[in-house]
Structure 1
Amino acid sequence: MHATLHRLRTTDFPAIRRGSLQTLQVNLGYRCNQACLHCHVNAGPKRTEMMSPETVATVIDFLDASGVEELDLTGGAPELHPQFRELVVAARERGVHVRDRCNLTILQEPGQEGLADFLAEQDVEVVASLPCYLEENVDAQRGDGVHARSIEGLRQLNARGYGSGDGRHQLALVYNPGGPYLPPDQAELEAAYREELERRYGIAFDNLLAIANLPIQRFGSTLVSRGQFDDYMALLRGAHRDANLEAVMCRHLISVDWQGRVHDCDFNQMLGLHLGGGGPVQLAELLHRDLDGEPIAVADHCYGCTAGQGSSCGGALAG
């Protein structure tokens, strides 16, 4: 159980319920070639958790049974799972849109030769982490040399049609703050990214997603150690907007962990909060269950999704 969960359980966050299920988000494991300060998954090169072949097969069964429109693959670095490409192909054969949450540096890792070609051939949407266009800011948050490797990864993707606006090879960049504050206006930030990446590196992309850091896992522990946790929670609560409640991602998404257990969102997954706030539920139990109208487990960290312009896996919720 996460060390900050006891700080988050007592909440007055509004009760919310599910709508129709549209997106299956699957965490294939916590192994990653990076160990970023802001990572809410606490992923890294030394993590060994990885989804089993049996659970991958259940994911494919769920695509058949549920009719979900999107498969959102995350980690860690999801591409490090030995069945990543098999799962992508299975989803695409079923007409399911696939989104790969890519850290960009994975494209240069040994054993990942041909990854950029594969993603392009399968028309996989790439959501790529790039917390800033400035080298010093990226390396401070993600590690020395990460910015240069990220730019090289973006160039590989651009060369394969990503960011061209062709409608098939969608490339979104993800910004998250470097500390305990809310992201700036997403539209203004996107314009700055577009201008600076083109001018400095000749890089193109389709859109920018501004995502708030939630006070859990590595980032939450850092806030606690620096005595900033309570102030950050006060910031999130004070910036809450009821209008964002209708658009939060958990209304139309379920998040599956590497063991096949289901959660209302990726953040709840990292806190060990199971679907609807009840006991553990396996994905196999949901093959023939309609979740529409069921309650969503909430805690104080949910204010991170409704503060200011709002935040989700798809970026800001409102202008």
Structure 2
Amino acid sequence: MHATLPLLNALSFPAITRGQLEALQVNLTYQCNQRCLHCHVNAGPTRKEAMTDESLALLHRVIDAHSVQTLDLTGGAPEMHPRFREVVSHARREGLRVIDRCNLTILSEPGYEDLAGFLAGQGVEVTASLPCYSRDNVDKQRGDGVFDASIEGLRVLNGLGYGQEGSGLVLNLVYNPQGPSLPPSQAQLEADYKSHLAEDFGIVFNHLLTITNQPIARFGSTLVSKGTFSAYMHLLRDSYRPENLGAVMCRGLVSVDWQGYLYDCDFNQMLDLPMVMPGLIGRERPHLRDLLQAASLEGNPIITRDHCYACTAGQGSSCGGALKE
């Protein structure tokens, strides 16, 4: 049972508006073979929510109709959706950059042994969770045995060419702080990761993405239960840098939930804060079908709350890592 989170202020964060739509980030399912402490989705093995065939058909139509450049697949473990490969194949045929937000351990689960080969064959960019290069730290945050399974997954990906110079197969790793603190310098931490993983395990990768933990869902509840929620929020607000506003991911991204509803980001999705789309009649919650009718989203207001300070604190944070060093 989760601690009750304080209400997040709707007034203090600066107003921002949308730019050109560049990416769809689609939450295919909340089901996951792991249950991580920092997970803002509260994903886990018992979650059953998954995108329906109707919503998937609409997703394909939106991809065909809009000049979207990137399809970012997330979850849960997105690969656990039964039509994951169909979604990937359609987007790649349309020339989209496809990102799979992979937890690495899924690659060794029964029934997924050929998953890595499929990703490589489709030229999918793998963005993989590895919150530390230390076994103890990873297992503490993500569960016993996760580090060893993650290393094995990275070896499989490396063997297929991922992270190897000239292969064209991109492998990025993701770092989340273990507690209520901001990530360190992304460039310095990337150098540390590359050194340790190469020396200890012979593993290579392209980039490390540092992502600030959001004070919501499972991580937010942990902060409340430990009495550190208020201190963490003060840290985020005090570390705000206005120059990060222009690069936040919500300006060019739409987050799509498993039911096909639209949000400014994955975090707003978890807080049930739907995207604003002027012109909806009788509804306040836009859906994929509304994207088929919308010529442009530019200039539309973005829904903000105090959790948005996590994206603008320090070097900034997005699903693509730090905004500014």
CA deviation profile, 1:256-305 (whole Å, cap 9, x unmatched):
00000000000000000000399211111111311011000000000000
Q: Could you list the per-position Cα deviations for residues 24-49 of structure 1 after superposition, in whole angstroms to 9, with x for gaps in the alignment? A: 00000100000000000000001010
Partner residue of 1:201?
A: 201
CA distance in 2, matches of 1:276, 1:226: 35
- Offset of residue 165 of structure 1: 2.6
Task: Say whether 1:170 aligns with 2:175.
Answer: no
When structure 1 is superposed on structure 2, of 164-173 and 287-296 the one drifting more is: 164-173
Q: Which among 310, 316, 323 is matched to residue 310 of structure 1? A: 316
How far apart are the structure 2 equivalents of 1:316 and 1:236?
15
Q: Any idea what the Cα deviations from partners look like across 1:155-205, whole Å, max 9, x if unmatched?
A: 000000000132621000000000000000000000000000000000000
SS at match of 2:26: strand
User: Does the CA-based 8 Å contact 1:5-1:271 persist in structure 2?
Assistant: no
Aligned to 2:141: 141
Residue 226 (structure 1) aligns with: 226
Instruction: Pick one of 292, 296, 316 that aligns with 1:287.
Output: 292
Q: Do 1:244 and 1:306's aligned partners in 2 also have CA atoms closer than 8 Å?
A: yes
TM (norm. structure 1) is 0.98
The answer for the alignment partner of 1:214 in structure 2 is: 214
Q: What is residue 154 of structure 2 aligned with on the other side? A: 154
Structure 1: tracts of 5 or more residues without a match: none
Q: Residues 57-106 of structure 1: CA distance to partner in whole angstroms, max 9, x if unpaired?
A: 11110001112000000000000000000000000000011000000000
Q: CA 1:274–1:130 in 2, change beyond 3 Å: closer, same or farther?
A: same
Q: Over residues 85-128 of structure 1, what are the superposed CA-to-partner deviations in whole Å (9 max), with x where a residue is unaligned?
A: 00000000000110000000000011112100000000000000
Alignment of 1:24-63 (within 5 A): 24-63=24-63
Conservation of the 8 A alpha-carbon contact between 1:253 and 1:264: yes
SS of structure 2 residue aligned to 1:8: coil
Give the number of aligned pairs: 318
TM-score, with normalisation over the residues of structure 2?
Answer: 0.96
Percentage identity across paired residues of the two chains? 61
Range 3-12 or range 115-124, more displaced: 3-12
| Deviation larger for 107-116 or 277-286 | 277-286
Q: 1:240-279 counterparts in 2 under 5 A?
A: 240-276=240-276, 279=284
The answer to whether 1:97 aligns with 2:103 is no
Residues 1:151 and 1:46: Cα distance change in structure 2 (over 3 Å):
same
- Specify the alignment match of 1:121 in structure 2: 121
1:230 to 1:6, Cα distance in 2 relative to 1, 3 A: closer
Distance in 2 (CA, whole Å) between partners of 1:178 and 1:21 is: 32
Please state whether the residue corresponding to 2:192 is helix, strand or coil: helix
244-253 or 278-287: bigger deviation: 278-287
Per-residue deviation at 1:4? 5.8
In the alignment, the residues of structure 2 paired with residue 206 and residue 81 of structure 1 have an alpha-carbon distance, to the nearest angstrom, of: 27
Contact 1:190–1:208 (CA<8 Å) still a contact in 2?
Answer: yes
Greater than 6 Å deviation, 4+ residue runs: none
- State the match for 2:281 in structure 1: none
State the Cα distance separating 1:145 from its structure 2 match. 0.2
Q: Secondary structure at the match of 1:205?
A: coil
- What is the rounded CA distance, in whole Å, between the counterparts of 1:271 and 1:200 in structure 2? 40
Answer yes or no: is the 8 Å Cα contact 2:249–2:319 preserved in 1.
yes
Secondary structure at the residue paired with 1:90?
helix
Give the SS at the match of 2:276.
Answer: helix
CA distance in 1, matches of 2:131, 2:14: 30
Q: Which amino acid aligns with 2:67?
A: G
Instruction: Give the root-mean-square deviation of aligned CA atoms.
Output: 1.3
Q: Which residue of 2 aligns with 1:182?
A: 182
Give the distance between the partners of 1:176 and 1:34, measured in 2 at CA: 16
Contact 1:250 1:296 in 2 (8 A): yes
Q: Which one is further off, 271-280 or 239-248?
A: 271-280
